[in-house]
Amino acid sequence: MALGFFSRLKAGLSRSTQKLSGGIAAVFTRRKLDDQALEELEDLLISADLGPSVAEKVIESFRRSKFGKEVTDEEVRAALAEEIATILQPVAVPFTPNPELKPHVVLVVGVNGTGKTTTIGKMARFYGEQGKKVMMVAGDTFRAAAVEQLQVWGERVGAPVISGKPNADAAGLAFEALKRGRAEGVDLLLVDTAGRLHNKSALMEELAKIIRVMRKFDETAPHSVLLVLDATTGQNAMEQVRVFKELVNVTGLVVTKLDGSARGGIVVALADAFGLPVHLVGVGEQAEDLRPFSAEAFAKGLVGDSIKVIDREDAAPEGEGEKDETPQPEHGAQAG
């Protein structure tokens, strides 16, 4: 039987969860929160990919509120989940296509293999189900397989895919798609791109050209630039954000592969370091394995605390689970 979305997320986070929750249990079994306990907690947070900056903030907050008190591992986990949720809350911004844009153009960027093409397919289904007219552009023209892969997604989710010959000019393709999307009243245009980061200047040139050429038709395009990150890469995701921010005006993140052996703590480190919206998370290869990012559920899943919340959301009917904590929709930022 297929697992529900949050069960998959929970399972995916289990690597980080075990580290955190097992570690906390070992450090805090009815113990005074003294300097040494705080130091051990700090090491634990760093080893679970939350990064030194988050670890320091959490420890400082614990020092202010609980220093010298006797605490249980349960209390520490609950307090930690709260601290993490506070860091994640501001970046848990849903991605909502601006209905005034026909189409809202989304450039999807990221290193090869992070899940760009898959995310585009899933987004086509997710927003298609919300009644949006979606079109996709097979802009990774260097790999024939990437074009075919997107075409398969197009058939699967029933959305058109604009593609060219192998090695076709991605910018020209995006331009054509934009024109066609405007003529056909498309709401959301998802542009796939190549992610050959080993040749940074070529990649920068290619992305810049796609943007420049699209702006000949719509000077406000692209309206969003989503960077796709693979959660299993851990700290390397931080470096990818830094690099892509130099190449393009990244407006938001999508974190994939939060199933399997994800290093979920990295999402907290990313939120703290960059403050970029985390719009969506992926927890599998299927069309339905994409959801808006929920700060509280993620934080609780990560520390292995109050699994009840997550199960309740799993049990909720499609799309209802996250409602209570979904921030107000925001339109995609303008790419500068």
Residue numbering of the annotated binding site: 110-117, 192-196, 256-259
Angle between helices 14-27 and 73-88 (to 10 degrees): 140
Judged by CB under 5 A, the stretch of 7-15, 18-26, 114-122, 313-321 that binds Mg ion is 114-122
What would the two tokens of residue 283 be?
């927890």
What character string, x for contact with ligand GDP (CB under 6 A) and - otherwise, covers 24-53? ------------------------------
Rounded to an integer, what distance in angstroms lies between the CA atom of residue 16 and that of residue 49? 8
Which residue is associated with the tokens 């940074």?
200
Using rule CB under 6 A, residue 257 touches ligand GDP: yes
The correct pick among 14, 117, 224, 294 for binding Mg ion (CB under 5 A) is: 117
97 binds ligand GDP (CB under 6 A): no
Q: How far is Cα 45 from Cα 131, in angstroms, rounded to an integer?
A: 42
Of 9 and 38, which has the nearer Cβ to ligand GDP? 9
226 token code pair: 């989503």
**Which is it for strands 278-282 and 290-292: parallel, antiparallel or unpaired?**
antiparallel
Q: Which of 7, 16, 17, 114 binds ligand GDP (CB under 6 A)?
A: 114
Look up tokens 């987004």; give the residue: 123
Q: Which one of Mg ion, ligand GDP, none interacts with residue 282, CB within 5 to 8 A by kind?
A: ligand GDP
Please tell me the distance from the alpha carbon of residue 149 to that of residue 164, in angstroms, as a whole number: 13
Backbone angles phi, psi at 60, to 5 degrees: -60, -40
Q: Is 81 in the site for Mg ion (CB under 5 A)?
A: no
When CB distances are held under 5 to 8 angstroms depending on the partner's kind, the choice from Mg ion, ligand GDP, none that residue 257 binds is ligand GDP
Q: Which one of 38, 81, 146, 159 is in contact with Mg ion (CB under 5 A)?
A: 146
Packing angle of the helix pair 14-27, 5-12 (nearest 10 deg): 60
Q: Does 203 bind Mg ion (CB under 5 A)?
A: no
Q: Could you give the string, one character per residue 263-282, with x where binding to ligand GDP holds by CB under 6 A and - elsewhere?
A: -------------------x
Complex with ligand GDP: residue 11 or 269, whichever CB lies closer: 11
Give me the 184-213 binding string for ligand GDP, x by CB under 6 A, dash otherwise: -----------x------------------
Pairwise CA distance, residues 2 & 91, whole Å: 29
Dmax over Cα atoms in the chain, in whole Å?
67
Looking at 28-36, 71-79, 112-120, 177-185, which segment touches ligand GDP (CB under 6 A)?
112-120
283 part of the interface to ligand GDP, by CB under 6 A: yes
For Mg ion, which stretch binds (CB under 5 A), given 43-51, 112-120, 211-219, 271-279?
112-120
Feature table: binding site for GTP: 110-117, 192-196, 256-259
Measured over the CA atoms of residue 321, residue 327, residue 330 and residue 335, the dihedral's sign is negative
For ligand GDP, which is the closer residue by CB, 42 or 230? 230
Number of residues binding to ligand GDP, judged by CB under 6 A: 19
Site for Mg ion, rule CB under 5 A: 116-117, 140, 146
